[in-house]
Amino acid sequence: TILRYNGRAVLETTQFHGLFDLERLDQGRRSVLRPTSDLPKVLPPKVGQKISVTFEVTEGARQSVRTVVLSVKKSDTLHIGRCSYGVLQIDRSIGRDEAKPVVINTDYYSPVLKLIIAKEFQERDGRTSLNKFDRIYPTKQ
């Protein structure tokens, strides 16, 4: 995936089925995430499932361990423009090194697109905010 802002790429990621980052290039800083688990065995995600995957992370000369826990809450429909997409709402928790994973956000994952098309964040005052795509374009292959 490539996130552009004002016409320039600010984040490029290589992902496994749109759920797990394997490589990130974030404003020039490169991270490589090597799973220590067999990723194909944990997919496809299903409602009620809890998926935990550990990664060895290399960021420059620094190495660490990251644990990603996905808790699949429910299926839903998300509208983007005139289109609607079947999604799974997945709570994403992340722990670094020895720290216990904490919930970061809720992903709205489209299994058909193999892409997270929206993220919901908990605000400090208890409200939530939803960030989603404005449009989704097919790519030319």
Q: Residues 18-75: pLDDT tens digits?
A: 999 999 999 889 999 999 989 999 999 999 999 999 999 999 999 999 999 999 999 9
- DSSP labels for 58-118? EETTEEEEEEEEEEEEEEEEEEETTEEEEEEEEEEEEEETTSPPEEEEEEEEETTTTEEEE
Q: Residue 140 above 80 pLDDT?
A: no
Supply the pTM of this predicted model.
0.89
Asked if residue 137 has pLDDT above 80, the reply is no
**Residue 71: predicted pLDDT:** 98
